[in-house]
Amino acid sequence: MADALALYLRLVGAQARSQLQYRMSFVLDVTGVFLVTFLDFVAVLILFENVPSLDGWTLHEVAFLYACTCISFAVVDLVIGHLDLFPRMIREGTFDVVLIRPRGSLLQVIAADFALHRLGRVLQGGVVFAYALGGLDIDWDPGRVAMVGVMLVAGGLIFAAVWIAGATIAFWTVDGGEFTNTFTYGGNFLSQYPISIYGEWVRRFLAFVVPMAFVCYFPSLYVLDKEDTLGFPRAFQFASPLVAVAAAIVAGVVWTRAVRRYRSVGS
Amino acid sequence: MRLYWEIARRGYGRYAAYPAATLAGAWTNTVFGFLQAYILLALYEHRTDIGGYDPSDAVTYVWLAQALLMTVFIFNWYELSLRIRDGNIATDLSRPLDPLWYWLAFDLGRSLYHLVFRGIPPFVVGMLVFDVRLPENPATWLLLVVSIALAVVVSFAFRFLYNLATFWLLDYRGVSRIAVTISALFSGFIVPLPFFPDWLEAVARVLPFAAMVQIPIDVFLEQAAGAEIAGLLLLQAAWAAILLGLARLVLRTAIQRVVVQGG
């Protein structure tokens, strides 16, 4: 494990250095990422210009959901990347090289897709989080503080699991990047708003089969002391860590299976 | 002309070659359409009219915006940047072809493919599930086609311009990301411009981006009539001419001082 971590840091460090070479472009890039995600939040602000609340959630409560999702998503994006290069590895046959190296395949794929500019997204999540807290009157007992920490970690783990499981689609379709985006970016987008606003089957599929409701919605109900209009058991608000672990196990199994049955495109 | 027709066909074929990617993309547009539609509908819990949109207008907006996303190609077009960065632009410049017209013809061919295969299928799904409004006046369909074509040209010229920045910056990611974000928001793709606060909508209306998404949607929703529609289309045409002119100018400057990369 320590060996894997050291290797990861080394591979990622090399890429960070190379990405700092075009200095001007890097600065623009981080600014760009920050702006992109920030304008994303401007959309939320614009919506709330028109209404006082969204299905019973105020602007600052939605901002809280938004920020928590964003931070989980952004940290995962930074640490494991979104495996964008992975379908190309399959298509061009370079995944073969990964397999003959004496290290875990997942580790190598993750380390190959590091982009330092994704810090911009983490930064933005932090800014929105501060904004949300500024407008909310939360009774900060130890349980709630702990829940925020648990939520961010579990949320990140769920995103990572979805990403990895999603990426394995490329083993079968050779080119599946866009399809996976529905679950990752789509999940992130979905999770920024209270899931009670979505239509029944969208909610069933994206919130429970792909367990996006556990990234943010259920834990936030507890932190913000809100009633669940959907009427789910209160235990759901504490279930995120279990869901996250289960998701991670599923993703791990899917990945291992997929690698085992992988046959090179041979080009 | 024949030549550019052939190039446009190549643009169409370049994307038609990957049907699986198209299918996955259309699926993505559909899922995002659903999410966006539910978010906007949630706003109508308090109101029956927002900026002149009733719930039916709002969902129509959502599915049209999804249909236009790939047609006008708001996100991630950096083919020209890549050719500048790896030096292939030198080959392009030595061909007896004008790069601006070449890429425009290619992009028009591409946009037709994306309209038909990335735009229409999600729209049809949206129509089946939501209360989408179709134009009452049949002539609106014709105006829509003209408006979309102009939207593609405006968007193309804008993309061409920020891609040209690669000549000076040597890397394209930062500039293109900022350009994409600004155009996504101010085109009305993320939130319809009528939902903006008045002052911000006024700003958005004088920028070229509204010509990429919001104006074709205005035309389709028949919110404007007669002379007003003519005015909207003229505005699009004017932006197309201005941005193409600007692209021509920047391209000329770039070529005069070009340093070809790599080899």
Q: Tens digit of pLDDT for each residue in B177-226?
A: 788 888 999 999 999 999 999 999 999 999 999 999 999 999 999 987 78
Model confidence pLDDT, tens digit, residues A138-151: 989 999 999 999 99
Rounded-to-integer distance, Cα A234 and Cα A221, Å? 9
Instruction: Please give, rounded to a whole number of angstroms, the shortest distance from the CA of A37 to a CA of chain B.
Output: 9
Please give the DSSP secondary-structure letter assigned to residue A21. S
Q: Which residue of A has its CA nearest to B38?
A: A198
Q: What is the pLDDT of residue B96?
A: 85
Q: Do B34 and A202 touch (CB under 8 A)?
A: yes
Rounded-to-integer distance, Cα A116 and Cα A118, Å? 5
Q: What is the pLDDT of residue A176?
A: 57
Q: What is the pLDDT of residue A177?
A: 64
Judged by average pLDDT, the poorest of A77-86, A129-138, B85-94 is A77-86
Nearest Cβ partner for A25 among B27, B39, B174: B174
Q: Which residue of A has its CA nearest to B44?
A: A51
For residues B157 and A166, which has the higher predicted lDDT (pLDDT)? B157
Q: What is the pLDDT of residue B91?
A: 84
- Please say whether the dihedral angle defined by the alpha carbons of residues A223, A228, A231 and A232, taken in this order, is positive or negative: negative
Judged by average pLDDT, the poorest of A41-45, A53-57, A91-95, B180-184 is A91-95
Judged by average pLDDT, the poorest of A20-24, A64-68, A257-261, B248-252 is A20-24
Rounded-to-integer distance, Cα B112 and Cα B12, Å? 7
Q: Do B171 and A179 touch (CB under 8 A)?
A: no
Rounded-to-integer distance, Cα B153 and Cα B215, Å? 13
The mean pLDDT of A95-107, rounded to a whole number, is 83
Q: Where are the alpha helices (DSSP H) in chain A?
A: 2-19, 23-50, 59-80, 86-92, 95-100, 105-111, 119-135, 142-167, 169-173, 177-191, 200-202, 217-223, 240-260
Q: Show which residues on chain A lie within 8 Å of chain B, measured between beta carbons.
A: 22, 24-33, 35-36, 39-40, 42-43, 46-47, 49-55, 117, 173, 175-179, 181-182, 186, 189-190, 193, 197-199, 202, 206
The mean pLDDT of A212-230, rounded to a whole number, is 92
> What's chain A's average pLDDT?
86
Assigned token pair, B232: 């909207």
Nearest Cβ partner for A43 among B27, B171, B190: B190
Instruction: Please give, rounded to a whole number of angstroms, the shortest distance from the CA of A139 to a CA of chain B.
Output: 28
Q: What is the pLDDT of residue B261?
A: 63
- Return the closest-CA partner of residue B66 out of B32, B15, B16: B32
Nearest Cβ partner for A46 among B175, B177, B195: B195
Residues 6+ apart with CB under 8 A from A220: A61, A64, A65, A68, A151, A226
Residues of A in contact with B45 (CB under 8 A): 51, 54-55
Judged by average pLDDT, the poorest of A176-185, A242-251, B44-53, B99-108 is A176-185
The mean pLDDT of A105-131, rounded to a whole number, is 85
The mean pLDDT of A254-266, rounded to a whole number, is 82
Residue A206 banded pLDDT, cuts 50, 70, 90: confident
3-state DSSP assignment of residue B77: coil
Q: In chain B, which among 78-137 make CB contacts under 8 A with chain A? A: none
Q: What is the pLDDT of residue B221?
A: 95
**pLDDT higher than 60, residue A267:** no
Q: What is the pLDDT of residue B207?
A: 96
Rounded-to-integer distance, Cα A85 and Cα A89, Å? 6
Q: Do A186 and B32 touch (CB under 8 A)?
A: yes
Q: Which residues of chain B have pLDDT under 50?
A: 263
Q: What is the pLDDT of residue B181?
A: 86
Determine the Cα angle at B108 with ends B107 and B109, to 5°: 90
Q: Do B38 and A198 touch (CB under 8 A)?
A: yes
For residues A136 and A114, which has the higher predicted lDDT (pLDDT)? A136
Q: What is the pLDDT of residue B30?
A: 94
Instruction: Please give, rounded to a whole number of angstroms, the shortest distance from the CA of B149 to a CA of chain A.
Output: 26
Q: Do A50 and B50 touch (CB under 8 A)?
A: yes
Q: What is the pLDDT of residue B135?
A: 94
